[in-house]
């Protein structure tokens, strides 16, 4: 095992940055969504919104951002509260599979429209 | 576990009982709780999105589902979770670029997170109900 001080600078910098970049993407999507939200609302308008290429692209970016953001957040939660290494690994793997599954499902939903 | 060099007196245990937390601490723990809530709610959100986009009747069915009182409560709770998470996140982004990091400013912005997210959630709740 590498002998090093396990607290210090730069451990997790990438995750820290990813958390913020994905947060900004989600904020931008929220603003966009509030602007393009159909008024009056109905099935045709709702479907029409998600049938547009740019909306699909924006929603795709949202889904990827949620995936990364939720992974980092949930991993931190598991790291903080689950002391047993094996159990923690299990929860982390389940979280990844769950989130990737959800992202795949979201893609399916979007590209069926 | 092998010996990991520098012996610091870690972990340090502080009393983090929510009742003793200052407002920024409350914002922080609610940020975490709301994040977990949103993670758990993701599947319901995707289900409703699929249903509402699938067909005219699916759209109506999704609307019907959301009109049940229990669903309305869940929607309002989710909206509050989202708003709190979002406001606390925006506050975090400002703190990251050194805006409002003094104790006084940080306490005020933490208080503002609760005020803004609760007020927005309440105004949406009134419309949802």
pLDDT tens readout for residues A43-90: 999 999 999 999 999 999 999 999 999 999 999 999 999 999 999 999
**Cis peptide upstream of residue A40 (ω within 30 degrees of 0):** yes
| Domain contains B108 | yes
| pLDDT (tens digit per residue) in B49-78 | 999 999 999 999 999 999 999 999 999 999
Mean pLDDT of B26-32: 95
Assigned domain for A6 exists? no
Q: Is residue B114 part of a domain?
A: yes
Which site among B41, B49, B120 would you substitute to test the A interface, given the most A Cβ atoms closer than 10 Å to its Cβ? B49
Surface of A (8-37) touching B: CB under 8 A: 20, 23-24, 27, 30
CA distance A109 to chain B (A): 6
Tell me if B46 and A102 make a contact (CB, 8 A cut-off): yes
Residue B104 located in a structural domain: yes
- Contact of B74 with chain A, judged by CB distance below 8 Å, is answered with no
pLDDT for res A8: 63
A107, pLDDT greater than 80: yes
pLDDT at A35 over 90: yes
**Partner residue opposite A46 with nearest CB, options B32, B53, B90:** B53
What ipTM was assigned to the predicted interfaces of this complex? 0.87
Q: Residue B27 belongs to a domain with what CATH number?
A: 1.20.1300.10
Contact A102 B4 (CB under 8 A): no
* Lookup: tokens for B44: 């319901």
Q: For residue B4, list chain A residues with Cβ-Cβ distance below 8 A.
A: 3-6
Which residue in A37, A73, A79, A98 has the most chain B C-beta atoms within 10 A of its own C-beta, making it the best mutation to test that interface? A73
Sequence-distant (6+) residues with CB within 8 A of B72 are: B66, B128, B129
The residue assigned the tokens 């092998």 is B2
Of A1, A77, A106, the CB nearest to B2: A1
Query: Cα dist. A31→A37, A73, B46 in Å?
Result: 10, 23, 20
pLDDT one-digit tens code per residue, B96-124: 999 999 999 999 999 999 999 999 999 99
Judge whether A72 lies within some domain. yes
Write out the two tokens for B96: 């990251």
Residues of A in contact with B123 (CB under 8 A): none
Q: Return the pLDDT at B9.
A: 74
Mean per-residue pLDDT, B16-36: 88
Q: What is the 3-state secondary structure (H, E, C) of chain B?
A: CCCCCCCCCCCCCCCCCHHHCCHHHHHHHHHHHHHHHHHHHHHHHHHHHHHHHHCHHHHHHHHHHHHCHHHHHHHHHHHHHHHHHHHHHHHHHHHHCCCCCCHHHHHHHHHHHHHHHHHHHHHHHHHHC
Residue A62: which CATH number? 1.20.1300.10
Asked if residue B3 belongs to a domain, the reply is no
Cβ–Cβ under 8 Å, residues B74 and B20: no
Domain that holds residue A93: 13-112
DSSP code, position A9: T
Domain that holds residue B27: 23-41+69-128
Chain A interface mutation, best of B5, B30, B53, B117, highest count of A Cβ atoms under 10 Å: B53
Per-residue confidence (pLDDT) for residue B11, from 0 to 100: 78
Asked, for residue A66, whether it belongs to a domain, the answer is yes
Judge: B53–A7 Cβ closer than 8 Å, yes or no: no
Nearest to A43 among B38, B39, B59 (CB): B59
- Average pLDDT score, chain A: 92
Is this model's pTM higher than 0.95 or not? no
Residue at B48 is within a domain: no
Task: Name the least confident of A2-6, A16-20, B32-36, B91-95.
Answer: A2-6
pLDDT for residue B16 is more than 80: no
Total domains in chain A come to 1
Q: Which long-range contacts (CB under 8 A, 24 or more apart) does A101-106 make?
A: A102/A67, A102/B42, A102/B43, A102/B46, A103/A63, A103/A64, A103/A66, A103/A67, A105/B46, A105/B50, A106/A59, A106/A63, A106/B46, A106/B49
Q: Mean pLDDT of all residues in chain B?
A: 91
């Amino acid at each position: 095992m590498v002998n090093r001080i396990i607290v210090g600078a730069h451990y997790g910098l990438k995750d820290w940055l990813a958390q913020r970049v994905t947060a900004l993407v989600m904020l931008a999507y929220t603003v966009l969504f509030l602007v393009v939200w159909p008024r009056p609302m109905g099935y045709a308008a709702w479907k029409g919104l998600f049938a547009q290429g740019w909306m699909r692209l924006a929603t795709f970016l949202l889904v990827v951002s949620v995936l990364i953001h939720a992974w980092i957040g949930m991993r931190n939660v598991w790291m903080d509260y689950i002391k047993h290494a094996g159990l923690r690994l299990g929860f982390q793997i389940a979280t990844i599979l769950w989130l990737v599954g959800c992202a795949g499902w979201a893609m399916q939903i979007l590209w069926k429209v | 576990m092998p010996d990991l060099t520098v012996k610091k007196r870690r972990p340090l245990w502080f009393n983090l009982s929510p009742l003793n937390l200052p407002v920024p601490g409350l914002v922080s723990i609610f940020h975490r709780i709301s994040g977990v809530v949103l993670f758990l709610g993701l599947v319901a959100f995707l289900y409703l999105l699929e249903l509402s986009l699938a067909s005219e009747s699916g759209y109506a069915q999704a609307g019907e589902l959301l009109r049940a009182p229990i669903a309305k409560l869940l929607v309002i709770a989710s909206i509050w979770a989202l708003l709190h998470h979002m406001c606390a996140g925006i506050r975090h982004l400002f703190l990251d670029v050194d805006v409002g990091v003094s104790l006084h400013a940080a306490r005020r912005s933490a208080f503002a997170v609760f005020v803004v997210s609760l007020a927005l959630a309440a105004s949406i709740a009134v419309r949802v109900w």
